[in-house]
Amino acid sequence: MNYYRRHLGDYAAQAGWLSALEHGVYTLLLDWCHKNERAIPKELVYQISKANSRTEKKAAEKVLKAFFTWDHEQGWRHEGAEVAIAEMRVLREKKRAAANKKWHPKGVHVHSECNAAAMLSNNQYPIADNQKVPTLPTPPAVTSRGKGGLGSIGEALRKLGEKGYD
C-alpha cells in the first residue's frame, strides 16, 4: 500500500501522550507496516525505526509495547494497520474485477493472434501492403566471393574499374 488514512483526531486521542521521539518512531513503524502489508519482523524493529542510541531503542520498545502485539510467527502486528490493509485488498479486488468486466467482457483474451502487418503505421503517408519498396543492388564486394562471402576491397575496386566506373 502506498497510501493509508490517518485521522488526526483519532491519532491524537490514541497517541497524544507520546514524546516527539516516540511519535517519530510510531510513524515510521506504521508506515512500514502499511507499505509492506505485513507485521514487523523482530530483527528489523530498530532498523525501521532508525533507533541507534539507547534512548531511541527505549522509545521504540515503549511504542511497540503500547501499540503493537507480538505474534511468534509473524512479528509485531498492529491491529489498525491490519484492518486498513484488509479493506484495501478488498477494494483492490473489486476494482480489478470491475476493470476486467469492462475491458474483457465474456472472457475475451487480452492477447490476440492478429496479423502484425495489419497494424497502423505512425507515418502520415502509410505504405500499403501491395506497394513495392525499391531495393538497392547488391554491391560487388559482397557478391565477389559467391554465396554471400566478402571479397577483398582490391577485387571490388578492380571490378568497378573494368565496368567503366572510373
What does the mean pLDDT of the chain come to?
A: 78
Cα→Cα distances 16→5, 63, 164, Å: 18, 12, 96
As a residue count, the chain comes to 166
For 85-99, the pLDDT digits (tens) are 899 899 999 998 888
Contact present, 73 and 109 (Cβ < 8 Å): no
Q: What is the pLDDT of residue 41?
A: 93
Q: What is the pLDDT of residue 12?
A: 82
Q: How many whole angstroms separate alpha carbon 155 and alpha carbon 77?
A: 80
pLDDT higher than threshold 80 for residue 145: no
Q: Which three cell numbers stand for residue 45?
A: 524493529
For 108-134, the pLDDT digits (tens) are 555 555 555 555 666 666 566 666 666
Across the strands, what pairs with 75?
71
For 39-75, the pLDDT digits (tens) are 999 999 999 999 999 999 999 999 999 999 999 988 9
Each domain of the chain, given as residue ranges in start order, spans: 8-83, 138-166
Q: How many whole angstroms separate alpha carbon 9 and alpha carbon 64?
A: 21
Across the strands, what pairs with 43?
none
CATH number for 8-83: choose from 1.10.10, 3.40.50, 2.40.50, 1.10.3470.
1.10.10
Residue at grid coordinates 576491397: 153
